[in-house]
Amino acid sequence: MTYPEDPMDTTIVPPRLSAGLSLHPSGATHGGENTPVIDLADVAVWYGDYQAVRGVSMPVARNQITAMIGPSGCGKSTVLRSLNRMNDLIGGARVTGVVSYHGQDLYARDVDPIEVRRRIGMVFQKPNPFPKSIYDNVTYGLKVNKMDTGRTDDLVEQALRGAALWDEVKDKLKTSALALSGGQQQRLCIARTIAVRPEVILMDEPCSALDPIATGKIEDLMHELAASYTIVIVTHNMQQAARVSHRTAFFTAELDDAGVRHGRLVEFNDTGRIFTNPADKRTEDYITGRFG
């Protein structure tokens, strides 16, 4: 599956003024701890005439890590991309139902998708730093979003510290990002994402291209990031979901009467519950390795 991997690319979707989103740029939230940051109500995603996933209703809680698991093709990435309008960049893709962000419909006409993607950032499966210096990678989003405050050096340091990369790169900020290891590149992509001060970070299998040591570092980092950010992660790795997440959504794909396969959300609950006492047999079969 291919889709543009640069959430900052304003050449793809021209910026519009956003009337709908009125939150503080730091991501300050309305409501209490339990108010969902994002809420999905009967969401379905279509690619042309094909309904890839249907009937998804679940909240994404603030400062928690929500994992999406399930067999290949069940629509995890599709749903993840619906959370920051990344599917807009795929010709023929459309979302029905309601994805709300602090109670506002993310797909309302007057909502600016570029602003959505700044507040709800994304980290991809394959580390995708730009062929630029480490410093320029971090400042890229600041420039694109016209967030250059004159304190750029401080912001770069802050973002790199936030991504647990500062100590490893502080003496070589002007060297190419492509010279970093895969794990460092992925942490740089996280630094690039947090530099624009999002509230939510979406991660689409962020460790699948990394070795176990680099994976461990990203998982540790996710725990740290959850103190300040709301995180949604798609992972194939059930142990990873069990290790890092607070809540887990299990998806599967099932054939309809016409023999067409659609993804659907089977069960959503606290991660401990999903992995020890799932309510649905399909979840149990999956987590015990009997299926998928």
Alpha carbon distances (Å) from 177 to 181, 186, 244: 9, 10, 27
CB of 35 to ligand ATP, least distance (A): 27
Largest CA distance in the chain: 61
Cα separation, 234 vs 223, in Å, equals: 15
Closest among 230, 289, 290 to 67, alpha carbons compared: 230
**CB nearer to ligand ATP: pick between 157 and 280:** 280
Instruction: Tell me: does residue 44 bind ligand ATP (CB under 6 A).
Output: no
Cα angle 222-227-231, degrees, rounded to a multiple of 5? 50
Instruction: Please pick, from the candidates 64, 66, 78, 248, the single residue that binds ligand ATP as defined by CB under 6 A.
Output: 78
Residues 253-282 that bind ligand ATP (CB under 6 A): 263
CB of 94 to ligand ATP, least distance (A): 11
Alpha carbon distances (Å) from 225 to 38, 112, 183: 18, 26, 16
Instruction: Tell me: does residue 166 bind ligand ATP (CB under 6 A).
Output: no
**What does the per-residue mask of binding to ligand ATP show for 85-104, with x meaning CB under 6 A?**
-----x--------------
**Sequence-ordered list of residues with C-beta below 8 angstroms from that of 28, at least 6 positions apart, any chain:** none
Instruction: Please pick, from the candidates 11, 22, 34, 72, the single residue that binds ligand ATP as defined by CB under 6 A.
Output: 72
Instruction: Tell me: does residue 74 bind ligand ATP (CB under 6 A).
Output: yes
CB of 73 to ligand ATP, least distance (A): 4
Instruction: Tell me: does residue 130 bind ligand ATP (CB under 6 A).
Output: no
Place of tokens 């909502």: 111
Give the interface with ligand ATP as residue ranges (CB under 6 A). Answer: 1, 47, 52, 70, 72-78, 90, 236, 263
